[in-house]
């Protein structure tokens, strides 16, 4: 166990951030799955900007890599345009 006050605070911060990052990451993955499962072009076109924004936010905060976000956005855009 940590012996310094700063180390105890760091443990608390890391725990909160880990939980928050896991929540946002899981929420975004579910949104991506939902978008991939859609077959209606209008509904998919409405959802695409929201999912892209979620991916950008995850990449900005280093939850996922920026190139992974770019690859996901690209493949989702291809999927929506092919509908």
pLDDT at 46: 92
pLDDT at 83: 86
pLDDT at 1 over 90: no
What's the whole-number mean pLDDT along residues 56-79? 95
Residue 13 pLDDT level (bands cut at 50, 70, 90): very high
For the whole model, what pTM was predicted?
0.81
What is the tens place of the pLDDT at every residue in 18-63? 999 999 999 999 999 999 998 889 999 999 999 999 999 999 999 9
> For residue 67, what are its two tokens?
């190139």
The C-alpha angle with vertex 58 and arms to 10 and 65, in degrees rounded to 5, equals 95
pLDDT at 2 over 80: no
Structural Rg of the chain based on CA atoms? 17
């Amino acid at each position: 166990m940590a012996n310094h006050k700063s180390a105890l605070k760091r443990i608390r911060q890391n725990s909160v951030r880990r939980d928050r990052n896991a929540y946002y990451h899981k929420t975004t993955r579910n949104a991506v799955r939902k978008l991939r499962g859609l077959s209606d072009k209008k509904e998919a076109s409405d959802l695409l900007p929201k999912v892209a924004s979620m991916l950008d936010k995850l990449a900005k905060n280093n939850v996922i890599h920026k190139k992974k976000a770019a690859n996901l956005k690209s493949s989702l855009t291809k999927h929506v345009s092919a509908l």
